[in-house]
Amino acid sequence: MSAERDLARLVAGMRPELNPGRYVFATVDGPAPAGVAPVVTIAEPEGLTLVVRQEEADAASLAYDYVAGWITLRVHSALDAVGLTAAVSHELAQAGLSCNVVAGFHHDHLFVEHARADEALALLRRLAERSSRSSR
């Protein structure tokens, strides 16, 4: 399946899905500690950022201060597609929800406040439905 670039089709077909669990952002000076399997890593000059399950962070005594829900947009978005991140973040921002976006090769992944993850999912599903209706 080829990656989608058309914004209307991206938004209409994003099929957001909430992954189970609670995820946290932590940073370490070296590699991820034993027993920690990050779902995202980002190397920064200040250290290696890890996005991991909260229980793994707790077991490894990693410090964190943000607990997130992880939403995957199931549309296969092209890495050079324009506007999907803006459309999604705008929708969530209108509701006062922060959104940390990570692009994978096949999908975009959103980390939102865990306590409001179901609300974020509902907002994204409504956005997709509105886009689907307007493109018919």
What are the tens digits of pLDDT across the range 112-125?
A: 999 999 999 999 99
Percent of the chain with pLDDT over 90: 90
Average pLDDT over residues 83-102: 96
The pLDDT of residue 1 is: 63
Interatomic CA distance for residues 111 and 23, integer angstroms: 8
* Residue 22 resides in a domain: yes
Percent of the chain with pLDDT over 70: 98
Quickly state the pLDDT bin for 132 (edges 50, 70, 90): confident
* Residue 2 resides in a domain: no
Please check the confidence at residue 135 and state whether its pLDDT lies above 90: no
Give me the domain span that covers residue 11: 7-134
Q: Got the DSSP string for 45-92? A: TTEEEEEEEHHHHHHTT-----EEEEEEE-S-B-TT--SHHHHHHHHH
* Residue 88 resides in a domain: yes
